[in-house]
Structures are given as C-alpha cells and as structure tokens.
Amino acid sequence: MKAAETIEEIRSAVAEARGAGARLVGLVPTMGALHDGHFSLMDAAGAECEFVVVSLFVNPTQFGPSEDYGEYPRMLERDLAGCESHGVGAVFAPPAAAMYPQGFATTVHTAGVSEPMEGARRPGHFDGVCTVVAKLLNVVGPDVAYFGAKDYQQVAVIRRMVADLDMPVRIAVCPTVREPDGLALSSRNAYLSGEQRAQAPALFESLCLAEEMAGRGERSAGEIAAAIRRHLADRAGLGEVDYVEIVDPDSLRSVETVVAPAVVALAVRFGPTRLIDNTTLPAPPGGLDRARPAV
C-alpha cells in the first residue's frame, strides 16, 4: 500500500495502477478515525474496483467556528494499518496546506438540497463538503466514489454537485453499519459518556417506530414525527432533539403526507456530541408512488 501526502504523489500512484491494468479506480473519502463503517466502504470498493484509494483528511472548511475541528480524533498510524488490512492500494493523507494553499479562494456551493436540516443548522458546512469532495475527485480521478447512507443529506448534495458539474464519476451509496443495539457507527460516538451511550440507541429505535407506523398505514408526517419525538423524550432524556424531518428523498423538501418513498432524518445532541441518523419509509398500504411535498 502506498501512502501519499501530496497531490503529485497520489496522482502518480493512480496513474501507475491504471498503467498496470486497473480498469476501475475507487475512492473512499474519509476524515480518518476509521471504524467498521469506513471499512465496509473499502470492502465494497475492493469488490468492484481493481485499485482503491482512501483519503484521510480532517477538512477544516466543513467545520463551524464552534464545532470540534480541533478535537476531532486523529489516529493516522492506526488508520493506515486498517486501510492496509482491507486491501487498499493507496492512502492520500495530505496536510491542510496541500489542499488549501495560500491564496485559495474557491468554494463550491450546491443550492436546494444543501439548505434544510444540516444546512440550516450548520451554515457553510455543505460548501466545505462540496469543495473538498470536488477537489478529491479532481485529484484522484476515480471511476466510483463510495459514501455511507448514514449521511443521507451529504450524499444527496454530492450527487447533485456531480450531476450539475458533469463530473465523470459514479457515486455509490453503501448501507449504514450499526452496533448490535442499532446505534449507527460514527467517529463521534467516542465522545459519548457511558450514560449517553446507553441512551443513544433510541435514535434507531425511533426510526424503527416510524417504519412500523408507515407500515400500518399512517400517512401523516406530523403524526410520525410527533411519535419519534415522544420516543426520544422517553428513552433519551439526556439528549436534545435538534430536528426530526420527513422529506422527499430527492428534493429534501418536507412532506405532509407520506405516500412513499419518504426519508425520516433526525439529529440529537448529547452534550457537545451531535448524532444523526435516517431511514426510508416503506409505502403505506394502498400508497401512491411518491411522498406529497408540503406547499
């Protein structure tokens, strides 16, 4: 496995792999602090691509001024060993100055899907995400880039950016990986206290409740969201609900009536730790083929 810190080094590694016969190059963008969710993306990439690149870069431009950029876990040697054990061909771990050199002045903004939910609560976050992902796609030049379904809005934003800018890459979305009690894997789970960790599975429980309600024929997004909030209040008293949204899966506009498909997305704060999760609701019995947006 090759480890690269500069753009020139990673481009050379990819060119060498293509010259040796690699038909497909896969990219798994990460901020490091790798866990089994990340490794599942690497495995999916390795099953499809002859050469897999993983980026390890804590991107400063997607953090707000009061967020945890300085505290975000950094464990390069452990991450490198994990990548190698999952058959990764090259790791790109640049310093911030390599990605954002002096004089850097360009930002990629994707309107619409970036504005609700995370976008409304973390101003500028998706501009930072789009900018760094666009740079990584340009630097590595992959055929396929792999992302996890846990960050549903991030995937929607990146897909919109790739489509609008005619980027020659396919975005592959892999299932959320969970702990046995349902908590979605996240590098930020390490911040939780023991008591907070015991309550955090309530996020997944509330999503299962939403699925059950839709499966029984409940069509009111308001009723489903209210049930989620009640469950979180009962089971995750240490948490503060940031949002519960039921949205169209493409536009991310709120829906009033669930007729399928519709995405339930939520965010809950446990002290300084903010967890997100989502699920896609099944069609209620006799449902139509789309959720009805609010007007």
Task: Give me the CATH code for the 187-283 domain, please.
Answer: 3.30.1300.10
Query: 2-4 and 90-92 as β-strands: parallel, antiparallel, unpaired?
Result: parallel
Helices (H) and strands (E) in the chain, counts: 10, 11
pLDDT at 176 over 90: yes
Could you tell me which residues are beta bridge partners of residue 243?
A: 267
- Whether 187-283 and 2-174 are alike in CATH topology: the answer is no
pLDDT at 285 over 80: no
Average pLDDT over residues 255-260: 90
Rounded CA-CA distance 266/279 in Å is: 9
Percent of the chain predicted with pLDDT > 70: 96
Q: Specify the pLDDT at position 260.
A: 73
Residue 183 near residue 204, CB atoms below 8 Å: yes
Rounded CA-CA distance 6/144 in Å is: 21
Q: Specify the pLDDT at position 295.
A: 40
- Residues involved in catalysis: 38
Q: Specify the pLDDT at position 291.
A: 55
Structure-block tokens of residue 268: 């809950």
Give 36-60 pLDDT, tens digit per residue.
999 999 999 999 999 999 999 999 9
CATH of 2-174, one of 3.30.360.10, 3.10.450.50, 3.40.50.620, 3.30.70.270: 3.40.50.620
pLDDT at 231 over 70: yes
- Domain ranges, ordered by start, for the chain: 2-174, 187-283
Q: Specify the pLDDT at position 66.
A: 86
pLDDT at 259 over 90: no
pLDDT at 187 over 50: yes
